[in-house]
Amino acid sequence: MPSTSIPFVQVATPQVAQRVAPGGAWVLHAALGLSLLIAAFGGVVLGVLAATGTGPGRDRWLASVQAHGDLQLWGWFAVFIVALTFEFIVRLNRRPAVPLRTRVLVLTLLGSGALMSAAGRIAGAQGVVVGGAGLEVAGAVLFATVVFRVPPARPWHEDLHPAFFRAGALWLVVAAVVELFAALAMQAGATPAGVLHVAAECVLRGFVLNVTVAVGLRAFPGHLGLPSVSVRSQRAIGLLLNGGLVLWVAGRVLEDGAAAAGVQAAGDLVLAAALGWMTVVFGIPGAMRAWRRVRERPQWMVPLAWAGLVIYSLGLAGGALALAAGATPQLLTAGAVRHALMLGFVGPLLLAMCHVVLERFGTGHLLWRGVLTAGFVLLIVAWPLRVLPPLVAGGEDAMARAAMGIAGILVTAALVLAAAAVLRNGLAVTTFERSFRTRR
């Protein structure tokens, strides 16, 4: 019987290390882990000292609060979210990875800038603070350049998520420039509180929330089973989110008076409307009702973290109405509302997404899952202890200070646990890459 040739097709499949853990994956894990440690042993410690009035928080209270803000906003949030953006923006747009040296340079500029600025404030060294702010400006500008050079995978009329990445990058540049101007105006270890307030809100409302929307538009439907968001709704979110911040900043730039207070209040109300609309179109209420049927931990973690965003939006709206009515803003109350966003939403959301990121962008298996989940739970327990005392009792009595101190301890423990899980997975990625190169 004559032989018959059978046709076949050759399929080029990438090597395992290329599919699962591309070279330089250690940068992501190192950045995430170190930013969490900066927040735990730097930012939170200074915050607790300021809240309890001990150590530098007694003699140099304002400088301690501002150093705390530098470490939390730039050393934790900026470094952590920029590292994630480098991974998401190329994957979501099907582009090559950002060069390793560029990633390391941007993250180093932001992290070292935060450390220098905070150390300079505690020491009362203006030159060090100015140098740290300059590094933050350089890191933010380079990051924005990278973001704008990534072409969208789909036309703008089909998907606006790259626009949110770009808006977030621009707001980070604005925040860094404002930080630099504030550092140049530093006196006695502290800078004008109003100027730094603008920088903080640009980081939180502009950078953090825009990048959250950018990632959520694509990651939430794919990983959490939430509904897709239409382009029309995306456009509404973008206009309300960024328009509200522009209004708020304009109100801060205006001289004190009824007009300035009215513009600020309008900005807060517009932002609250944006957050409410986000909650609806992302399908968060339905996810909360279906929490008993979820199969993956992030499916219940993200809606639980989103509750902090809802509380923040309510506090924002309430404060805006009081401001429009002529009430004088209280520093501790405004700080409590801001911490509802930081500790009630952003922090837990980052740890929830780490459950996905460490598994998908690493070896394909999440190590120390229980440790990472424990860090998330501790944050959920801690943030009401930090937020409620200033809102209910003014935050001045001994019991309120004790509650905020306990919150700081819980937050520190949460961040340390999360950092340990991140670095453990980073070690596994590094070992995997090394073993694969050895086999080759």
264 shares a domain with 181: no
436 lies in a domain? no
Q: What is the pLDDT of residue 95?
A: 87
pLDDT (tens place) for every residue of the chain, 440 residues total: 455 444 433 434 344 444 444 457 789 999 999 999 999 988 788 877 776 667 665 667 788 888 888 999 999 999 999 999 999 999 888 888 899 999 999 999 999 999 999 999 888 889 999 999 999 999 999 999 999 999 988 887 788 889 999 999 999 999 999 999 999 988 766 777 778 889 999 999 999 999 999 999 988 887 777 888 999 999 999 999 999 999 999 988 876 677 788 888 999 999 999 999 999 999 888 877 766 676 778 888 998 999 999 999 998 998 888 877 777 767 677 778 888 999 999 999 999 999 988 888 877 788 999 999 999 999 999 999 988 888 776 656 777 778 888 888 999 999 999 999 999 998 988 887 776 655 55
Closest CA to 31 of 125, 109, 97: 109
192 shares a domain with 95: yes
As beta bridge partners, residue 187 has: 190
94 shares a domain with 200: yes
256 shares a domain with 175: no
Domain span at 244: 230-281+283-329
150 shares a domain with 193: yes
Print burial letters for 274-310: b (CB count within 10 Å at least 16), e (below 16). Answer: bbbebbebbbbeebbeeeeebeebbbbbbbbbbbbbb
Which CA distances in Å does 144 have to 169, 172, 321?
A: 5, 8, 35
48 lies in a domain? no
Cβ–Cβ contacts within 10 Å for residue 350, how many? 24
251 shares a domain with 294: yes
Total domain count, the chain: 2
Helix H or strand E segment including 406: helix 398-439
Helix H or strand E segment including 314: helix 298-324
The single-letter code of the amino acid at 230 is S
Cβ atoms 16, 432 nearer than 8 A? no
Phi, psi of 225 (to 5 degrees): 75, 20
Cβ–Cβ contacts within 10 Å for residue 151, how many? 9
Distance CA 370, CA 363 (A): 17
Q: What is the pLDDT of residue 225?
A: 78
203 lies in a domain? yes
200 lies in a domain? yes
How many C-alpha atoms does 5 have within 13 Å on its Cβ side?
2
CA-based diameter of the chain, in Å? 99
